[in-house]
């Protein structure tokens, strides 16, 4: 069978199972209202938590950086691609995360696949939450360490596996890795309990705070939310969600950052982030340090939306953050439900396997600080109409 024939057969199978995904193209900025298929619709699919992706201050800083530095950095960081902007941003990220130092990457995915293989080696062990993000999973695969998955946020299971791992490998480096906020359910890692287990069994603690930075801890993240900055060895995250731009970072000790600058392959072999992106991120980080009102507005909108969905009778799971899944279960029904929402003017993406488990399909909603209560009321009215049509609510 030719390659195209095999691929087309696989694509047809995914479509029949309701596991295909159509990529939607925006004809507008990614704000609370977006232009799709020739019309404006309410946008509940963006990770732009604080509305910073279209913030005038960030745009102005990006434009000024282009005029000062050009459109590209021109080289990898270790040759001559490091700008003063990169250094200033890394200092600002370290201050935001409460660490000695930080390092900038081109994406949060790069941050994970760069870092995990550089802190463990053959003979070491990784204890990984079973619902960790794909980039963590791939970073673990790239390492030569043994990976042991523990049941999601199950502290008894983590404790038992840490005890066995330490007893059988007394000299090994053992790292426990968890998301700070889990992106599909919106629940928060039980960091205080994980820290206690870390101390008992001499573990290294690695937290991916992609969906916590800018959201929890007055914008400082999940680690700050629990006041555990001194107990977490590695903090990583993206700069494309609440920060509103693109990129990733690792924050930790000076020794960790110095090591990554010498050994992390995406840092060594990818051109440095652009001047415009770097300047916009720096403006966002500075804004986060003083913009408590933005974070408070985000949470107010999220609570309002979630209370409305619950009162209608939708299952939004166990979310503890603005991430708001409407859990439906069956994949084809979920895809059809999302299409019906869009027809009614609400853009909320269907999430199916392999992003979530089979039978756990959901429409994932992301209320933001840029949404107004009137917008949320309109979205809830659409949810009510479509939900009744599909028999999901009374």
Active-site amino acid positions? 183, 211, 241
The rounded distance, in Å, linking the Cα atoms of 234 and 374 is 40
For residues 282 and 92, the answer to whether their CB atoms sit within 8 Å is yes
Neighbours of 80 (CB within 10 A): 11
- Burial label for 171, CB within 10 Å (0-12, 13-18, 19+), is exposed
The rounded distance, in Å, linking the Cα atoms of 162 and 152 is 15
**Which residues does 293 contact at the CB level (< 8 Å), separation at least 6?**
none
Helices 373-389 and 331-343 pack at an angle, to 10 degrees, of 130
**Token representation of residue 364:** 């994932």
Which region, left, alpha or beta, applies to residue 235 given φ > 0 means left and ψ of -120 to 50 means alpha? Answer: beta
What are the φ/ψ torsions at residue 274 (nearest 5 degrees)?
Answer: -65, 155
Cis peptide before 354 (omega within 30 of 0): yes
**Token representation of residue 207:** 């937290």
Which strand ranges, in their side-by-side order, compose the sheet holding 361-365?
A: 324-329, 361-365, 349-351
């Amino acid at each position: 069978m030719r390659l195209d024939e095999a691929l087309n057969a696989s694509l047809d199978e995914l479509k029949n199972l309701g596991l295909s995904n159509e990529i939607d193209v925006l004809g507008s900025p990614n704000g609370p209202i977006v232009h799709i298929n020739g019309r404006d619709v309410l946008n509940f699919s963006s990770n732009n938590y604080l509305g910073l992706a279209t913030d005038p201050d960030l745009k102005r800083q990006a434009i000024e950086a282009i005029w000062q530095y050009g459109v590209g950095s021109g080289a990898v960081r270790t040759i001559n691609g490091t700008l003063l902007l990169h250094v200033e941003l890394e200092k600002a990220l370290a201050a935001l995360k409460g660490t000695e130092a930080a390092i900038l990457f081109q994406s949060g995915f790069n941050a994970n696949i760069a870092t995990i293989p550089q802190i463990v080696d053959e003979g070491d062990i990784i204890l990984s939450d079973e619902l960790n993000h794909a980039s963590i999973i791939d970073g673990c695969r790239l390492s030569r360490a043994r990976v042991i998955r523990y049941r999601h946020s199950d502290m008894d299971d983590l404790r038992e596996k840490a005890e066995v791992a330490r007893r059988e490998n007394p000299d090994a480096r053992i790292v426990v890795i968890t998301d700070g906020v889990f992106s599909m359910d919106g629940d928060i890692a039980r960091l205080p309990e994980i820290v206690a287990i870390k101390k008992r069994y001499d573990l290294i603690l690695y937290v991916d705070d992609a969906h916590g930075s800018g959201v929890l801890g007055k914008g400082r993240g999940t680690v700050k939310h629990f006041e555990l900055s001194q107990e977490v060895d590695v903090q990583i995250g993206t700069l494309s969600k609440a920060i509103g731009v693109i990129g990733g970072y690792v924050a930790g000790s000076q020794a960790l950052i110095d090591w990554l600058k010498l050994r992390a392959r995406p840092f060594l072999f990818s051109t440095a982030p652009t001047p415009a992106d770097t300047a916009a991120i720096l403006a966002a980080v500075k804004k986060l340090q003083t913009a408590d009102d933005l974070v408070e507005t985000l949470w107010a909108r999220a609570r309002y939306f979630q209370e409305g969905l619950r009162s209608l009778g939708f299952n939004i799971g166990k979310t503890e953050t603005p991430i708001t899944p409407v859990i439906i279960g069956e994949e084809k029904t979920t895809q059809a439900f999302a299409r019906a929402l869009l027809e009614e003017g609400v853009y909320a993406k269907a999430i199916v396997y392999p992003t979530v488990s089979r039978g756990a399909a959901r429409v994932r909603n992301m209320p933001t600080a840029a949404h107004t209560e009137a917008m949320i009321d309109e979205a809830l009215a659409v949810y009510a109409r479509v939900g009744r049509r599909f028999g999901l609510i009374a």
